[in-house]
Structure 1
Amino acid sequence: MKKHYVKLMLNKRVICKKCEVANNPITRFKGLMFRKELEKGSALLIEPCNEIHTFNMKFPIDVVTLSNDNVVLTVFDSVPPSRVMPPVKTGRKVIELNAGDAKLFGINRGDILQIVETD
């Protein structure tokens, strides 16, 4: 199965050039489980999704929940493996980033992210 990627932008600035999309039952279920790492500067967009877990993960991640209009609803920093995150009622998408990237990129609650298709 060919992987699908998008770019993530915040305030017209590219914050992730290679964001993998998990948008079918298999890729959404698998997420980042069993991976040794998330490549620096990359991310995973899971949609539809309003809650995640970090079971079978080998590294901490930042978790950003988005509304249907890509408004940032929650930002959880450095979520360690083997955790269950609470569901976000109005959440429709989740972005998983390397731990520390949400702060590095300046992602805050209320921001609007742009999700741009790549060639």
Structure 2
Amino acid sequence: MKKITLFLEGKAIDKQLEIFVADTFFTRFKGLLGTRLLPEHEGLLLRGCNSVHMLGMRYALDIVYLDSTGTIVKLVENLRPWQISFCRQAQDTLEVNCGTVRSAGWKIGDRLELHN
């Protein structure tokens, strides 16, 4: 999987935050299934995905739905195992550790910029 850097309105959010990109059917399908924990400094961007299922997951996540411009259109904090979430207007979905949305201060309308 590719790694990218995440920015908010042109300013680095956290130099340690590594976002892995799932942009094929297989990598999106697998996602974080089978992992025991998502390290605090990592996240997973699901390209072309507007829904998340937590079936078979072992831990909760914060979910950030992005439109085609990278603007946050929906936030779901603490999505727990065996729950499902979706957002019709989302183009991509970012999965991060619980508490990341709150600690970063992200809100609907913020634009996340993703750079290689």
> Which AA in structure 2 matches 1:91?
A
Mapped pair 1:21 → 2:21: yes
Stretches of structure 2 lacking an aligned partner (at least 5 in a row): none
TM-score by length of 2: 0.93
Q: CA deviation at 1:13?
A: 2.9
Specify the SS of the correspondent of 1:19: strand
Mapped pair 1:61 → 2:61: yes
Q: Percent identity?
A: 25
RMSD: 1.1
- 2:48 maps to 48
Structure 1 Cα separation of the partners of residues 13 and 94 of structure 2:
12
- 2:91 maps to 92
Specify the SS of the correspondent of 1:69: coil
Stretches of structure 1 lacking an aligned partner (at least 5 in a row): none
- 1:103 maps to 102
The ranges of structure 1 where at least 4 consecutive aligned residues each deviate by more than 2 angstroms after the TM superposition are 11-17
- 2:7 maps to 9
Q: CA deviation at 1:82?
A: 0.6
